[in-house]
Amino acid sequence: MKIQHTTIYVTDQEKAHRFYTEVLGFQTKADFSNAGFRWLTVVSPADPDGCQLQLAADDNPAGKAYAQALFAQRQPSVMFTTRDVVADCDAIQGRGGALTMPPTDTTGSKIAQLSDGCGNLIQLTQLTW
């Protein structure tokens, strides 16, 4: 088995799509609509056949409540790994992203956080062990 998709709930799919592609640098993998439903996924350009991140509309009450609770607790909805968190943060800020936590050394890693502007915190992690 392998992980094919994971989902986060977003307040605005179009705004989230722009953020994940233009600010974070992911690529659109799937984007189609049917009867008011939009299936929207992005992937890392480093692994275009890898796990897809679904940017789901938060019209699902359970998904919306979950996303809001994570955000209120300042917990990330999704975590991405990087080889150089400082360089990635600099690039993200250069493309208009704003950090909510600058690169910070923790046990075994250096982490940073930012908001996607659509109800989610994102954590970038560089393992140091």
pLDDT confidence of residue 108: 95
Q: Which domain holds residue 121?
A: 5-127
Q: How many CB atoms lie within 10 A of CB 49?
A: 7
Rounded Cα distance, 103 and 110, in Å: 6
Q: What is the distance, to the nearest Å, from the Cα of residue 91 to the centroid of all Cα atoms in its chain?
A: 15
User: In the prediction, which pLDDT does 95 show?
Assistant: 96
Beta-bridge partner residues of 9: 56
Residue 7: the pLDDT is: 96
- Do residues 20 and 7 lie in contact, with contact meaning Cβ atoms separated by under 8 Å? no
**Distant-in-sequence, close-in-space partners of 48: CB < 8 Å, separation ≥ 6:** 27, 29
Q: Is the pTM of this model over 0.85?
A: yes
Q: What is the CATH number of the domain that holds 105?
A: 3.10.180.10
* Domains in the chain, number: 1
Q: What is the DSSP string of the chain?
A: ----EEEEEES-HHHHHHIIIIIS--EEEEEEEETTEEEEEEE-TT-TTS-EEEEEETTSHHHHHHHHHHHHTT--SEEEE-S-HHHHHHHHHHTT--EEEEEEEETTEEEEEEE-SSS-EEEEEEE--
Please give the pLDDT value at position 129.
85
Divide the 129 residues of the chain into consecutive groups of 10 and give the mean pLDDT of each group: 94 98 97 95 96 96 94 96 97 96 97 97 96
Determine the pLDDT at residue 73.
Answer: 97
